[in-house]
Amino acid sequence: MAVSCTLYGPDGPLNPSPSRNLAAQAAIRGDPGHLQGSMRILFVNYEYPPLGGGGGVVMAALARALARKHEVTVLTSRALDLAAESDDEGVRVIRVPVFFRKHLAVANLPSMVMYLPSGLIRGLALAKQSRFDVINTHFVVPSGPLGDWLATRLHVPNILSVHGGDLFDPSKTMSPHRHGLMRSAVARLLRRASVVIGQSNDTVGHVASIYGVHREVGLIPLGIERPPSISGATRAEFGVRDDAFVMVTVGRVIPRKASTQLIEMLAKLNRPSAQLLILGDGPEIPAVLERAAALGVTHQVRHLGYVTDDTKYRVLSIADAFVSTSQHEGFGLVYLEAMAFGLPIVCYDRGGQTDFLSTPATGFVVKLNELETFTDAVRQLHDSPALCSTIRGYNLQRVEEFFIDHCANRYEQVFESALRTASGAGVPADSRR
């Protein structure tokens, strides 16, 4: 039995399908009519910027968009010198203490485990101050149990958003899909949630194919905040020649990204004008730089480390192409960011990015780990400014469908419909308080 899903586009749900779980199906579809007044929304996510990667980034953008109309609180983890409570453009961010996390980009098991009891205590205390209407839990691992516990204790709907890596990460020995007990625990959380939302067909498919959960699963593509207009950025500020062909890659440098392949590609490319800018930090950086030295391309590689959004946008604005050898992406927000600057994209074909990337429209989507084909694709872009220009025009148009307001509107409809299902159709939000 295949998993059924509802695709959400900018104008609402597409291709609705029947489900045994009628309440969940109604919530996913977003029944017509809006609740009166604002909702009190609690986001539960172990990571919130500057901690973590793309999943936290998009959830933060979603929270900020919804905070324009609703009361939004985020319950997340605290590390390093981050404040216990802060305001992020109208979003109340509550960080609970966890053990031993020492890096912004990389989590560890003790900190993830500690988040659960710390989050439960703080979440229940927050609910005594102001009752929440709905919980949106992001990542079934590690946030899933906390969202489930809070929803049960507070008697509110729990919308569970799965992002890909929490269901399937081929680079991690502890990925839940590899272990029977973890698969069972994840499957239980997937079944218990009021509504399950995935951000790509790849992720939605894993709910049934890996975890054996056959229920209605909503598909809401992620969105990005519209980048600001960049003026005055120069290649010189990043140590790059004006006549260089500049490739950029963005993200945590972890095993799943297989970033040493980018160094091997650069060596095989045999184009002295090519430069690779690496934005991001992680445990694989030493291996990447060592590989560059071994292959004699150190002078063509610039590691900029963890950078601010402003710096990231400035780099994207001066680049010629975006490249990624990631072994799997649940969705791939960085691809959308690159498209917003008109960059052609070269990546592999494993993951949710195949929902919106294709050859030759957006660049090149290459079969997983076919590095020679990947290198040839980059070479075509290097040698053909006309091809890059054509792709640039398409990507700038295509990305308009993926800005955060579309995503927020769809989530808002799901939340409202889940509340109607839980509280009775047509009951105004204010009457529940």
- Domains in the chain (CATH in brackets) are 4-223+403-425 (3.40.50.2000), 236-402 (3.40.50.2000)
Q: Given this model, what pLDDT does residue 31 score?
A: 46
Mean of all residue pLDDT scores within the chain: 89
For residue 209, list its beta bridge partners. none
DSSP summary character for residue 114: H
* Whole-angstrom distance, CA of residue 196 vs CA of residue 207: 9
Whether 433 shows a pLDDT value over 80: the answer reads: no
Q: Given this model, what pLDDT does residue 34 score?
A: 45
Q: Given this model, what pLDDT does residue 103 score?
A: 77
Residues 6 or more apart whose CB falls under 8 angstroms from that of 81 comprise: none
Task: For residue range 266-302, list pLDDT tens digits in order.
Answer: 999 999 999 999 999 999 999 999 999 999 999 999 9
Give me the half-sphere count of Cα atoms (radius 13 Å) on the Cβ side of residue 327: 15
Task: For residue range 139-150, list pLDDT tens digits in order.
Answer: 999 999 999 999
The more confident residue out of 10 and 75 is 75
* Cis peptide upstream of residue 50 (ω within 30 degrees of 0): yes
Whether 106 shows a pLDDT value over 80: the answer reads: no
Q: Cα 59 to chain center, whole Å? A: 8
Average pLDDT over residues 371-399: 98
Task: For residue range 59-74, list pLDDT tens digits in order.
Answer: 999 999 999 999 999 9
CB 134 within 8 A of CB 42: yes
CB 94 within 8 A of CB 74: yes
Task: For residue range 337-351, list pLDDT tens digits in order.
Answer: 999 999 999 999 999
Q: Give pTM, 2 decimals.
A: 0.78
DSSP summary character for residue 176: G
Q: Look at 50-64, 202-216, 318-332 and tell me which has the smallest mean pLDDT.
A: 50-64
**What strands, in cross-sheet order, belong to the sheet with 195-198?**
12-14, 4-9, 216-219, 195-198, 158-162, 134-138, 40-44, 71-78, 91-97, 85-88
Q: Is the dihedral of CA 339, 253, 281, 102 positive or negative?
A: positive
CA-nearest of 394, 351, 429 to 40 is 429
